[in-house]
Amino acid sequence: MSAAKRGAWILTIGDELLRGEIVDSNKSFLSERLLQLDLESTRHVSVGDDPAEITEVLRQAVAKARVVLISGGLGPTIDDITTAVVAHTFDRPLVRDPEQVERIRSFFAALGREMSANNAKQADFPEGADVLPNPVGTAPGFGIEVDNSWIFCMPGVPRELYRMMDEQVLPRLQRLFSTDQVVRSTLLRTFGLGESALDRELADLSDASAGISIGFRTQFPDNLVRVVSRAPDEAGALRELERVVDEINSRLGSIVLGRGERRLETIVTELLIAGKHTVAVAESCTGGLIASLLTDTPGSSACLLHGVVAYSNDTKIRELGVSPADLEAHGAVSEPVALQMAAGVRERAGAELGIATTGIAGPGGGSEEKPVGTVYVALASPGGNSVRRYQLFTERSRNKQLAAQIGLDWLRRQVLGLELPDETFPRLRDTRQAR
C-alpha cells in the first residue's frame, strides 16, 4: 500500500483560516521548504477546529502521502485539539512529557509569570512521538510514524513554525527520505529578469546534470532561483551545488542580489554600513518608499543621513536646489531634474552618495512623450553623476515599488563597483502576479 504513496500533504488547522480572517502563508512556506528536499506537495487542505473534519483529512492524508505536515491547533486553549485528534485517530494514548512540562514552566518563569494548568496540556504527546522543541514559544511540536507515513505537527504562529520546520523537521525528513541520496539546496535572489527569461537562461543546467534541479519563486519584484543538488554523499552534493551556483552567477551576472531570503533593502543597508558609506535620498515618484525601505533595517541610521520627499516643484527648487529654468524647460520628470535632485540632496546632507527618483507612477499624468511608468533614476557620487530613464509597467503601486527597487539596486551596484543597468532594465514583463 505504501508503495503507491507519494509526496506530501500540508494540513493547516483553525477556524480563523476558514473565516478568511487571515491569509494562510504557512502552506506556501512549507511547500517551498519541501522542494529543497525534492519532496513535492500534492495537496493543501485547511479545516476548522472540528475533530470529525480533522480525522477525515488525517486518514486521507496517511492513505495517500508519505509526509503529512500539520500546522496549528497546538495552543493551550480548548479549541486547540490537533494533538488529541491525531492521537485518537491513530489509536495512540496521550502521554504527558515531564521534561516538556518543565520547559514550559521555565518559559513562563522567564517572563515572570506562572504557567497555567491549560499550558500543561501542551506537554501531552501521542505515545512514541518524537518531540520537537520550540525555542521561541510554549508549544512543542512532534512527529509520529503511521502506516509508513510520517506526520509532523507544528505550531501555527509563523515565526515558531518557520524555525521548527528548518531546525527540526527538515533534518529529520532528510534522514528519512534521502537514505541513498544527500540533498543540498540554496536560493539565489535575482532582480531584473522575469521567470520565463530566467527559465530560458538556466533550463539546460538541470537537463545537463541528473543530480540538479532548478525552480523559481516570485516575490515581486524579485525572482528567486532554487537550486537543488542530490548526490550519494554530502561532499558531492555540495560540490555540484556550488558548481551550478557559480555557473548561474556567471550567466546572470549582476542581476543576482545574493543568496537566501534577505531582501535588497537589507543587502544594501548592510553593504552601506559595512563600507562606512553615507547616503541621502531625494524622492519624487517613490514618495518616501526608498527611505522607508532603507530604514526597515536596524542600524540604518549609520548610513542614511537625510531624505527628502519632493513631490512639488517648490520643494525641488527650495530644498534640493533644482533650477526653476530646467523645471520649466524639461518638466519635473526629466534627466536634468533627476540629476540636480541627486546632486542637491547629496550636497545638502554632506553625504557620499545621493540617489534620486522622478517619474510618473500613474494612473494620471502620462503623455505620449512620457507615458505612465516613465521614471528617471539619478546617482550623485564622488566619481561623478549618472542618470537613466526607465519604462516601467503601468500600475501605480507596482511602479512605485519597482522605481524604489531600481534606486536601491543602483546603490548596491555603486558600492560593489558594478555597472548601472541600461534602459531596457528591468525585463520583468512576464513576472507572474502574486495572488
CB of 25 to its own copies, least distance (A): 5
**Residue (254 or 313) nearer to its own copies, CB:** 313
CB of 218 to its own copies, least distance (A): 6
Of 374, 376, 407, the closest CA to residue 391 belongs to: 374
CB of 408 to its own copies, least distance (A): 13
Of 152, 113, 136, the closest CA to residue 34 belongs to: 152
CB of 332 to its own copies, least distance (A): 10
Instruction: Match 502521554 to its residue by C-alpha cell.
Output: 95
Side chain identity at 301, as an amino acid letter?
A: S
CB of 338 to its own copies, least distance (A): 17
**Residue (64 or 389) nearer to its own copies, CB:** 64
**Residue (204 or 296) nearer to its own copies, CB:** 296
**Residue (283 or 409) nearer to its own copies, CB:** 283
**Residue (276 or 435) nearer to its own copies, CB:** 435
Of 117, 37, 120, 53, the closest CA to residue 85 belongs to: 53
CB of 24 to its own copies, least distance (A): 6
**Residue (230 or 400) nearer to its own copies, CB:** 400
CB of 33 to its own copies, least distance (A): 8
**Residue (100 or 186) nearer to its own copies, CB:** 186
> How many CB atoms within 10 Å of residue 63?
13
328, with CB counted inside 10 A (0-12, 13-18, 19+), is exposed
Q: How far apart are CA 358 and CA 284, in angstroms?
A: 5
